[in-house]
Amino acid sequence: MPTRLPRHVVPAAIVAAALASVALPASAADKVKIGFVSTLSGPSSALGIDIRDGFLLAVKLNGGKLGGLPAEVLVSDDQFKPDVAKQLFEKNVKRDKVDFMTGVVFSNIMFAALPEAIDNKVIYISPNAAPSSIAGKDCNPLFFAVSWPNDAYHEAAGQFANTRDLKSVYLVAPNYQAGKDSLAGFKRTFKGQIVGENYTKLGQLDYAAELAEIRAAKPQAVYIFLPGGMGINFIKQYVGAGLGKDTTLLLPGFSADQDVINPVGAAMAGLFNTAHWSPDFSNAANQKFVAEFEKEYKRVPTLYASQGYDAAQLIAAAVRDTKGKLEDQAAVLKALRAARFDSVRGPFKFNTNQYPIQNYYVRTIGNDGKGGLVNKSFNEPILKNHGDAYVQSCPMK
Amino acid sequence: MLILEQALNGLQFGLMLFLLAAGLTLVFGVMDMINLAHGSLYMVGAFVAAWLVALTGSFAIGVVGAVALTFVFGMALEIGVLRTLYARDHLSQVLATFALILILNDGTKMIFGNDLPLSAPAALAGPVELLPGLQYPAYRLLILAVGLALAALLWLLVQKTRMGALVRAGASNRTMATAMGTDIGRLFTVVFGIGAALCAVAGALLGPLLAVQVGMGENILILAFVVIVIGGIGSIRGALVGAILVGAVDTLGRTLLQHVLREFLPPQWASAAGPAIASIAVYVFMAIVLAIRPQGLFPARGG
């Protein structure tokens, strides 16, 4: 027969529990909780996986902490579906009560899920997607892009095409916000003629019809924005169709990083691409990042991984500078805007719309000395201290 | 040159669609069973091929092995699960085979993971000069060749062999065929197996062009149903004509139609409108066929 507790213990226990549960929230946060939602499955999963691995590496190198507080990172997979991302954001914000949301790769998925964070006053740190609308009229004090404005790589590529005296270019991008931003960015700086502009379906993998069109248009160069699996398939089929011989293929870093180089292989050698970061940058933060990433994950980091790492570092800087008082959101936002951390890309600063102002470089794909291919950057940036074309429309000053 | 290249693209897509539609129309025609899990057999074929190619390093072994294994898997599925559905109404078949899609999707995810890489053999990675000025990818030529060969083989099988005669009889009038003494049970098993094998060929060959991932069968399944409705249930010839028609319309929408639209629409709208109009055209065509000639263009059913 179970022994019964003395009569006064049970009510006392209940009161004690009630007091304890009331007492807890009053102190400063004892850990920083981050919701990480990204594309971790499907043909473009390499992007989300790299951002996640870069982010978690930063946490690990700081002993499981960010800015002095133990970090709890809740990772989940949006499966490249906007509605799934929205649900995951809602869960992280409402049930898990995270301090920051981050992780999304694709602009369309981010648009669907972002309101769940912003409307509930949770800060979103974008390690990738950074659409033109949020750089301009829809800018938001709770939104920070730690990567680049969507147009930037493409503006750099357009400028590079000018320096190469290219007169006619055919453009391809997927038909979604980032795709439109990309070709708008290229056209902003490119001074030659656009002989074709083709928006394909997001997620499309068979480009036979589009490649035939390109061949008929006979451009000097082809510029594509096709991230992830889309780019891998396009480049393979481009080579398969024999287009590589007469037409230069110009790429943004998104379609020319390690996640594309590995599956496509030798055909990538010698191709030029533009990016804000390259694995061979010589600053101390980057050398440490690349060495630790290769040691931990046995592969060369992509620009996506560098963005994930920097996102974690940015959060760490904010936690450190507010001494862990995350409830004071105004102080957190001020610390985030100051962005006092050593970015792997070199000097980092935010524009008034909380998008980066930074340099963009031309990279070329060359031998890594071990039988593989890797990106190598040119020292002189193609665009220096470059912001974006939308900051004037942003009310934040 | 552009028209020729696009025509080849449309033909290539149409022939792969035909491989799926042929199996589907036979199953529907001969066994009167709606098999929604047909697209999942296409997915299984692609995954097994990707797995075998990674295991053996040979694309040919991968494809042939995938076809053989999917053939056996198809027959096992028929004997084990689908046999019970023949006597039931179409709605029960839809529900049961839909459940099968979900089971196969999750089963594949558990065994192989969400996706597997599959590359075309290096020897076929480059172009072939068909005519001066027309270069076409070697790998797509392989797909065209295999598709045409299988279409011819199926025609031979159905028109010239005894089994083919039984299949045509069963598709035409099943009750009569049973009354005439054919061993329907074994015929059904083999027909289903062949359908599964054809799916596997399409899955393995299209794997390098598309992506081998869970759920890849769903999109192409809908098109396959449209094809067999247009072509006529139970008719291989109808499946071929329907598939090539659908392939041609899809390619036209993605290319030539866009040229026309670009004259008066901004490029983003033209790029989105072209494929959308092509898609609508396919379904409108199916609706017209259903209205005017509901048994399809080349009906197999007799009286």
Who has greater pLDDT, B152 or B125?
B152
Please indicate whether, in this complex, the C-beta atoms of B275 and A201 are within 8 angstroms of each other: yes
> Looking at the predicted structure, is the pLDDT value of residue A1 above 70?
no
Q: Which of residues 182-211 of A touch B (CB under 8 A)?
A: 197-201, 205-206, 208-210
Nearest residue in chain B measured CA to CA from A196: B267
> Looking at the predicted structure, is the pLDDT value of residue A12 above 80?
no
Q: Which of residues 256-295 of B touch A (CB under 8 A)?
A: 258, 267-268, 271-272, 275
Listed in sequence order, the DSSP H helices in B126-235 are: 138-160, 162-172, 174-179, 184-206, 216-231
Per-residue pLDDT tens for A127-168? 999 999 999 999 999 999 999 999 999 999 999 999 999 999
A301 in Cβ contact with A257 (< 8 Å): no
For residue A238, give how far its alpha carbon lies from the nearest alpha carbon of chain B (Å). Answer: 9
Nearest residue in chain A measured CA to CA from B6: A209
Per-residue pLDDT tens for A198-212? 999 888 888 988 999
Q: Rounded to an integer, what distance in angstroms lies between the CA atom of residue A391 and that of residue A371?
A: 44
What residues of chain B lie within 8 A of the CB of A210, using their CB?
254-255
Instruction: Supply the pLDDT for residue A24.
Output: 46
> Looking at the predicted structure, is the pLDDT value of residue B303 above 50?
no
Confidence category of residue A335, pLDDT binned at 50, 70, 90: very high
Average confidence (pLDDT) over B77-94: 90
What are the residues facing A249 on neighbouring strands? A222
Please indicate whether, in this complex, the C-beta atoms of B255 and A180 are within 8 angstroms of each other: no
What residues of chain A lie within 8 A of the CB of B208, using their CB?
236
A172 in Cβ contact with A251 (< 8 Å): no
Confidence category of residue A23, pLDDT binned at 50, 70, 90: very low
Instruction: Indicate the average pLDDT of chain A.
Output: 91
Please indicate whether, in this complex, the C-beta atoms of B271 and A199 are within 8 angstroms of each other: yes
Q: Is the dihedral of CA B134, B137, B139, B143 positive or negative?
A: negative
Q: How many CB pairs under 8 A join A and B?
A: 90
Who has greater pLDDT, B271 or B153?
B153
Q: Rounded to an integer, what distance in angstroms lies between the CA atom of residue A260 and that of residue B150?
A: 34
Indicate if A152-275 has the same CATH topology as A32-148+280-350.
Answer: yes
Domain A152-275 listed as CATH 3.40.50.2300: yes
> Looking at the predicted structure, is the pLDDT value of residue B131 above 70?
yes
CATH of domain A32-148+280-350: 3.40.50.2300
Given its phi and psi angles, is residue B258 left (phi above 0), alpha (psi -120 to 50 degrees) or beta? alpha
Confidence category of residue A343, pLDDT binned at 50, 70, 90: very high
Instruction: Supply the pLDDT for residue A256.
Output: 93
Listed in sequence order, the DSSP H helices in B255-266 are: 256-262
Per-residue pLDDT tens for A85-135? 999 999 999 999 999 999 999 999 999 999 999 999 999 999 999 999 999
Best of B2, B12, B136, B209 to disrupt the A interface by mutation (most A CBs within 10 Å)?
B209
What residues of chain B lie within 8 A of the CB of A263, using their CB?
117, 119
Average confidence (pLDDT) over A214-218: 91
What residues of chain B lie within 8 A of the CB of A176, using their CB?
none
Per-residue pLDDT tens for B65-80? 999 999 999 999 999 9
Q: Rounded to an integer, what distance in angstroms lies between the CA atom of residue A93 and that of residue B29?
A: 53
For residue B84, give how far its alpha carbon lies from the nearest alpha carbon of chain A (Å). Answer: 35
ipTM: 0.82
Strand ranges, E, within chain A: 32-38, 65-66, 69-77, 100-102, 123-126, 143-145, 168-174, 193-200, 221-224, 248-252, 272-275, 349-350, 356-367, 373-377, 383-386
Please indicate whether, in this complex, the C-beta atoms of B137 and A236 are within 8 angstroms of each other: no
Q: Rounded to an integer, what distance in angstroms lies between the CA atom of residue A116 and that of residue A122?
A: 8
Please indicate whether, in this complex, the C-beta atoms of A242 and B115 are within 8 angstroms of each other: no
Q: Does B218 touch chain A (CB under 8 A)?
A: no
Instruction: Indicate the average pLDDT of chain B.
Output: 88
> Looking at the predicted structure, is the pLDDT value of residue A345 above 50?
yes
Per-residue pLDDT tens for A226-263? 998 899 999 999 988 888 888 999 999 999 999 999 88
Strands B134-137 and B127-131: antiparallel
Q: For chain A, give the percent of residues with pLDDT over 70.
A: 93
> Looking at the predicted structure, is the pLDDT value of residue A16 above 60?
no
Q: Rounded to an integer, what distance in angstroms lies between the CA atom of residue A238 and that of residue B294?
A: 42
C-alpha distances in Å from residue A58, one per residue of A73, A141, A178, A337, A347: 12, 25, 27, 20, 18
Per-residue pLDDT tens for B54-68? 999 899 999 999 999
Closest CA to A363 of A264, A219, A266, A254: A254
Average confidence (pLDDT) over B12-24: 92
Instruction: Supply the pLDDT for residue A26.
Output: 40
Please indicate whether, in this complex, the C-beta atoms of B115 and A237 are within 8 angstroms of each other: no
Q: Which of residues 211-270 of A touch B (CB under 8 A)?
A: 212-213, 215-216, 229, 233, 236-237, 239-242, 263
Of A42, A215, A233, the CB nearest to B114: A42
What residues of chain A lie within 8 A of the CB of B140, using their CB?
208, 240
What residues of chain B lie within 8 A of the CB of A200, using their CB?
271
A143 in Cβ contact with A336 (< 8 Å): no
Please indicate whether, in this complex, the C-beta atoms of B213 and A43 are within 8 angstroms of each other: yes
Per-residue pLDDT tens for B208-267? 888 888 888 888 899 999 999 999 988 888 999 999 999 988 888 778 888 888 888 888
Q: Where are the domains of chain A?
A: 32-148+280-350, 152-275
Per-residue pLDDT tens for A353-371? 999 999 999 999 999 888 8
Best of A198, A200, A201 to disrupt the B interface by mutation (most B CBs within 10 Å)?
A198
Average confidence (pLDDT) over B187-203: 92
